[in-house]
Amino acid sequence: MARARVLLLNAALGPLDYRIPHGMTARPGSIVVAPLGPRQLVGVVWDEGSFPDVETVGDNRLRNLLEVLDAPPLPETLRRLIEWTADYYLAPPAAVLRMALASMSALEGTRTVIEYRATGQLPDRMTEQRTQAMERIGERQGLVRELAMIGGVSDAVIRGLVKAGAFEPVEVSVDTPFPEPDPAHAPPALSDKQLEAASQMADAVRAHEFTPFLLDGVTGSGKTEVYFEAIAAAIRASKQTLVLLPEIALTEPFLERFEKRFGTVPVNWHSGLRQSERRRAWRAIAAGEARVVVGARSALFLPYPNLGLIVVDEAHEASFKQEEGVHYHARDVAVMRGLIEHFPVVLASATPAIETRHQVDLGRYREIKLPARFGGAQMPDIKGINLLTDPPERGRWIAPPLVVAMEEVLAKGEQSLLFLNRRGYAPLTLCRHCGYRFQCPNCTSWMVEHRLTKRLACHHCGHVIPAPRFCPECKEEDSLVACGPGVERIADEVKALWPQARVAIATSDTLHSPARAADFVKSVEAGDIDIIVGTQLITKGYHFPNLTLVGVIDADLGLEGGDLRASERTFQQIMQVAGRAGRGEKPGHVFIQTRMPDAEVIQALIAGDSERFYLIETENRRRANAPPFGRFAAIIISSEDSDEAAQTARLIGKSAPQVDGMRVYGPAPAPLSVLRGRHRHRLLIHATRQIDIQSVIREWLGNLVWKSTTRVAVDVDPYSF
Ligand code: ADP
Ligand code: ZN
């Protein structure tokens, strides 16, 4: 009798065995429907002999598989990747499988997608926005959201144009292929250095060779142009390419550049897709028809049958590390996928992670450097401002030397950017009279004042309250004070200094949609803005030729708390924001305000010396036996019931095994000890590289039981703690 071991899309379950009924063809990889109790679930037939721990069931107790779905089978290499990910990150295989089958979990789905295209009719009422959107969209057809992105307007504007008859709906079957990018559409003339870099990558693509590349080039050196040539090589070789971006905010400019180079936009995989759209993209990917896919980390597990290249852009970004569900690092899984499927993986970054650079030192990754900006633009000159000897006036945050520099830039008609990685007006509000502090009821965090929206908000769970007028504790009026600065407060200071200057705040609050972001970019490019005050949102991707000055308000902010990556993250963030200065013909200047001018990271920044920072930080890590030398894992125990969480944490702590070369710290309250109403405790495990930390943890936790209302999550190689 034919049986099949099936991994169901239900994270709570391991694989189960089923009978393959007569006349059904189900092989490893087949996507099937199987009964479970009264339910019907989608799953994938796994390989014979896989999951040897599964209890076998006698033939007579097996239930029949119900159906094999009409979809390409999951490739063998992807099944290996799923197993590896589940093993390495100690996650249920089904949870990883769900990312691969993203769209197949719903059995029923509409067979069509509604797209829109111009009718050629102009609406009676035209606005500037409408005209501009229609011009930019032209003949293009797409989803409302995509047209909005291309047109640089909100979804509502496109819907308005549909109503006005300027666009009409077109029913597209989920089987309709996407247009193919053309590698010969508009190739650039590469510099010698770029050409050399591009040909190394293209060679590896053509040779189907696993080669991890670190494309290490300063901001503006032309990394994107270089990896575009690797993509062109993959298209010519009839291979698929996946480009992973760290943030949706970077997608729109990417699509635009891609279209200029290849004549059409790539297939865009993102969380905003509807079921039918998701299905269409998934099918095109699984059929090998989607040649180039751009997406966030979740696009990594899709069933490309024919992948020939992965590019991870801004590869150092923390957002590639998923912090819930399966705690995986997309950069590392991308490299593993390249190894399993034999193709090159390009990690592009101006500020590579210490771990990645270390792989180069070990000879495992091939480094390609682009040390100069393209077209001869100079790197900005970086100076420190010691806040202890050159402090701002009382109640202000911009120190005199920065004020002077901004004054000059303003007089020349050039633009400045002030960087502070804090949204809102002030991070803490307290009562001067009784000392009351506004704290989030769901999290261990302060409520941040947002003066623009007249609210206090928790940045962890989104809880908001109207801005209070009196203290809830002592009822005193006029006793509430804002402590510390956020970008809104800095913007106020700028307006007080230069009432005539045009100031824009750039954060996820003000640029919350692609349309708003596009408007912002347009007004900066048009010279309608003199001074930008922004958070990390502004540190990446933007190219403003007239922006010549960057001021970092508080370089020490990220160094407080002293977690493993504090220095590294500070270095990366400030290098990135410094990279916004002087991208055109005019040279850029950067001022870094700090209370620790002698800190190594600050010194390295001022010297603009990445190499020195890397050497010092690597040495610090070596001494502390921290990654990439030693390794960490965290066990996070959480429950809505604080006693229950504490009890389970103690139970796990007490059962910690004794292993040479491994130390267990805690349990202790996690850094955010209450998050979204859940009480969190943490154990931290520090071990040498020789220890198989996964096996140790698997055995350790495998012997314990806890209440189902308690969640225990393992984070292997945590990003920060
Ligand atoms: P990076 O990705 O390293 O930040 P980009 O690829 O964005 O750098 O290049 C920086 C700027 O230089 C962009 O405006 C890009 O269009 C331009 N550029 C880079 N290489 C070339 C080239 N070979 N020909 C023309 N323009 C180029
Ligand atoms: Zn909260």
Enclosing H/E stretch for 324: none
Q: Tokens 């409520």 identify what position? A: 447
Q: Same topology for domains 3-101 and 192-370, yes or no?
A: no
Angle at 222 between CA 219 and CA 223, to 5 degrees: 80
Segment 503-558, tens digit of pLDDT: 999 998 888 877 788 788 889 999 999 999 999 888 877 788 899 999 999 999 88
3-state secondary structure 269-285: ECCCCCHHHHHHHHHHH
Enclosing H/E stretch for 378: none
Q: What is the largest CA-CA distance in the chain?
A: 86
Ligand 1 binding pocket (C-beta < 6 A) is 188-191, 194, 217, 219-225, 374, 543
**What would the mean pLDDT of 26-40 be, rounded to a whole number?**
92
Enclosing H/E stretch for 86: helix 76-88
CA 57 to chain centre: 43
Segment 319-378, tens digit of pLDDT: 999 988 899 999 999 999 999 999 999 999 999 999 999 999 999 999 999 988 887 777
- In DSSP terms, which residues pair with 116 in a beta bridge? 142, 169
Is residue 544 within 8 A of residue 377, CB to CB? The reply is no
What is the bridge-based pairing of β-strands 428-431 and 480-483? antiparallel
Proportion of the chain above pLDDT 70, given as a percent: 98
Q: For atom 9 of ligand 1, which residue has the closest CA?
A: 222
Residue of 374, 577, 580, 583 best suited for mutating to test ligand 1, as the one with most atoms within 8 Å of CB: 374
Name the band, by pLDDT with cuts 50, 70 and 90, for residue 110.
low
Q: Nearest 10 degrees: CA dihedral of 228, 231, 237, 238?
A: -130
At residue 55, the pLDDT reads: 79
Q: What is this structure's pTM?
A: 0.89
From first CA to last CA, the distance across the chain in angstroms is 52
Residue 107 scores a pLDDT above 60: no
Nearest ligand to the C-alpha atom of residue 257: 1
Q: Which atom of ligand 1 is nearest to the CA of 313?
A: 2
Is residue 141 within 8 A of residue 116, CB to CB? The reply is yes
Q: Tokens 């198989």 identify what position? A: 692
Q: For atom 23 of ligand 1, which residue has the closest CA?
A: 190
| Choice among 233-237, 530-534, 574-578 with the minimum mean pLDDT | 574-578
At residue 524, the pLDDT reads: 93
Residue 229 scores a pLDDT above 80: yes
Q: What is the mean pLDDT of the chain?
A: 91
Options 3.30.450.40, 3.40.1440.60, 3.40.50.300, 3.30.420.40; CATH for 3-101 is 3.40.1440.60
Say how far apart CA 6 and CA 275 lie, in whole Å. Answer: 24
Residue 11 scores a pLDDT above 70: no
Q: Residue 710 — left, alpha, or beta (φ > 0 → left; ψ -120 to 50 → alpha)?
A: beta
Main-chain dihedrals φ then ψ at residue 181, nearest 5 degrees: -65, 145
Segment 608-653, tens digit of pLDDT: 888 999 999 999 999 999 999 999 999 999 999 999 999 999 999 9
Segment 239-285, tens digit of pLDDT: 999 999 998 777 878 888 999 999 999 999 987 777 778 888 988 99
| Choice among 211-215, 263-267, 560-564 with the minimum mean pLDDT | 560-564
Q: 381-425+485-620 has which CATH code?
A: 3.40.50.300
CATH architecture of 630-716: 2-Layer Sandwich (3.30)
At residue 558, the pLDDT reads: 83
At residue 542, the pLDDT reads: 78
Residues contributing to the annotated binding site for Zn(2+): 431, 434, 440, 443, 458, 461, 471, 474
Q: In which order are the strands placed within the sheet that holds 67-68? A: 16-19, 3-8, 39-45, 31-36, 67-68
ipTM: 0.96
At residue 223, the pLDDT reads: 94
Q: Tokens 């270095």 identify what position? A: 571
Options 3.50.50.60, 3.40.50.300, 3.10.450.40, 3.40.640.10; CATH for 192-370 is 3.40.50.300
Q: Where are the domains of the chain?
A: 3-101, 112-173, 192-370, 381-425+485-620, 428-483, 630-716
Is residue 522 within 8 A of residue 550, CB to CB? The reply is no
Q: Which atom of ligand 1 is nearest to the CA of 218?
A: 3
Q: Two tokens at 394?
A: 């009382």
Residue 112 scores a pLDDT above 90: no
At residue 105, the pLDDT reads: 53
At residue 686, the pLDDT reads: 95
3-state secondary structure 101-113: CCCCCCCCCCCEE
At residue 562, the pLDDT reads: 64
**What would the mean pLDDT of 444-467 be, rounded to a whole number?**
92
